Amino acid sequence: MKPEEIERMRDEALAAFAAAGDLDALQAAKVAHTGGTSPLALANREIGALPPQAKAEAGKRIGQARGAVSKALAARQTELEAERDARVLVEEAVDVTLPYDRVPAGARHPLTTMMERVADVFVSMGYEIAEGPEVEAEWFNFDALNFVPDHPARQTQDTFFVQGTREDGKPTVDDESGIVLRTHTSPVQARALLSRELPVYIVCPGRVYRTDELDATHTPVFHQIELLAIDEGLTMSDLKGTLDHMVQALFGADMKTRLRPNYFPFTEPSAEMDMLCYVCRGESVGNEERPCRTCSSEGWIELGGCGMVNPRVLTACGVDPEKYSGFAFGFGIERMLMFRHNVEDMRDMVEGDVRFTRPFGMEI
């Protein structure tokens, strides 16, 4: 077996691999030059018949040749695979800008998520969420909250009354039933005080009703969130601090609130609470160059009412006003949504138009 023969076989194999233009051709060349009937394989088989010395030499030569062939095959294989990959992946390219709205996203209503967001600020502080019925006894909605029997809010002009049944079986008229659609979330305060252990730290988000016709700024069905804290030694400064914390959590670290004296039956002292306008931070006041439409250049945004829980409310709910005191506040979620997200028309929050709600997504 001549060395030149073996070199020729090797070179023919290398040439065949190099000449293979694709993986199929390479496969054919592979079978021809490395398969069981390839010249090198046949030569290898002949080694056994050689005399010992020639055997060793031929074995070495053939081994080297086969090594070179298999290396070249692997290299060419890698080369051709890379070529194929490059071609195929280019062919498989797509337009990734194509839209995919096969099942359009759903969304929760921003009023729902806004209520949750506010409630969660307080839940993280240790408050719990309390709930109550929307159709409520007048006693919870008004009496227990120190509304005098003739308070104007108790009229059918402002409050929805539910039709009850008189002793004689006839339906009640006017306010006779003593059952109303709750006009605020405050009755939940009374329910919480009557049913929970002291101290009580709760927030009550929910739906409330007043007899306003729907227009751009009013809706007969709206949402409030109410806070109540009753403990020993709570003060109006605690109320102020709690409000400050809330607006900071919702609107940013440098936010603050302002209290202005006001009157509510269920709190004494009572206050109207404003928050610094989170858009202009008060800088639009008196600055005609930079008017602010969020706060009408007032610098402050009216949030709602608050105060120290009237001791009469505590008495009606069986809490000793000598020992316990506390504070409460409440505000409208619609209003907050309006100024926080620049909603201009109340009806957009009421009508359930998917174009309004969808962008708000899952959380707010």
Partner 1 sequence: MRVPLSWLREYVDLPADATGRDVQEKLIGVGLEVETVEQLGKGLTGPLVVGKVLTIEELTEFKKPIRFCTVDVGQANGTGEPQEIICGARNFAEGDKVVVALPGAVLPGDFRIAERKTYGKVSRGMICSSDELDMGEDGTKGIIVLPPEHEVGTDATKLLELYDEVLDIAVTPDRGYCLSMRGVAREAATAYGLPLRDPALLDVPAPNSFGHPVQISDPRGCDRFTARTVVGLQPEARSPIWLQRRLQKAGMRPISLAVDVTNYVMLELGQPLHAYDRSLIEGPIGVRRAEAGEKFTTLDGVERVLDAEDLVITDNRGPIGLAGVMGGANTEIADPEVDPETGLAQGTTEVVIEAAHFDQLSIARTARRHKLSSEASKRFERGVDPKAASAAAQRTVDLLVLLAGGTAEGGVTEVIAPFAPHTISIPADHPDKVAGVEYGRETVVRRLQEVGCDVYGQDELVVTVPSWRPDLTDPNDLAEEVIRLEGYENLPSTLPKPPAGLGLTDRQRLHRRVGRVLAGAGYVEALNYPFIGSQVFDQLQLEQDDPARRVVKLVNPLSDEEPALRTTLLPGLLQALRRNDGRGSHDLALFETGLVFHPAVSSSGRGTAVRLPVDRRPTDEELAGLNSVLPVQPRHAAVVLAGAREQAGWWGKGRPADWADAVEAARAVGREAGVELLIDQGQYGPWHPGRCAELSVVIDGVKTLAGHAGELHPRVVKALGLPARTCAMELNLDLVEQAVDGTLQAPRISTFPVATQDVALIVDKEVPAAAVEHFLRGGAGELLEDIRLFDVYTGDQVGEGKKSLAFALRFRAADRTLTVEEASAARDAAVAKAAEITGAVLRGA
Min CB(61)–partner 1 separation in Å:
50
Q: How far apart are the first and last CA of the chain?
A: 85
Min CB(77)–partner 1 separation in Å:
34
User: Which of 227, 249, 226, 251 lies closest to 238 in space, CA to CA?
Assistant: 227
Min CB(358)–partner 1 separation in Å:
6
Distances (CA, A) of 251 to 78, 243, 248, 275, 283: 60, 12, 5, 10, 16
User: Which of 316, 324, 305, 311 lies closest to 229 in space, CA to CA?
Assistant: 324
Do 6 and 61 contact (CB within 8 A), yes or no?
yes
Q: Which is nearer to partner 1, 164 or 252 (CB)?
A: 164
* Six-digit token string for 126: 């240790």
Q: Which is nearer to partner 1, 16 or 277 (CB)?
A: 277
Min CB(91)–partner 1 separation in Å:
18
Determine the distance from the C-alpha atom of residue 139 to the mean position of all C-alpha atoms in its chain, rounded to a whole number.
Answer: 38
Q: Which is nearer to partner 1, 35 or 152 (CB)?
A: 152
Report the largest interatomic distance among the alpha carbons of the chain, rounded to a whole angstrom.
Answer: 130
Q: How many CA atoms lie within 13 Å of 154's alpha carbon, on the beta-carbon side? A: 20
Q: Which is nearer to partner 1, 232 or 283 (CB)?
A: 232
Do 333 and 205 contact (CB within 8 A), yes or no?
yes
Residue-by-residue DSSP string for 112-150? HHHHHHHHHHHHTTT-EE----SEEEHHHHTGGGT--TT
Q: Which is nearer to partner 1, 57 or 175 (CB)?
A: 175
Min CB(89)–partner 1 separation in Å:
21
Q: Which is nearer to partner 1, 105 or 253 (CB)?
A: 105
Q: Which is nearer to partner 1, 2 or 102 (CB)?
A: 102
User: Which of 249, 274, 278 lies closest to 342 in space, CA to CA?
Assistant: 278
- Cα gap 334→357, rounded to integer Å: 14
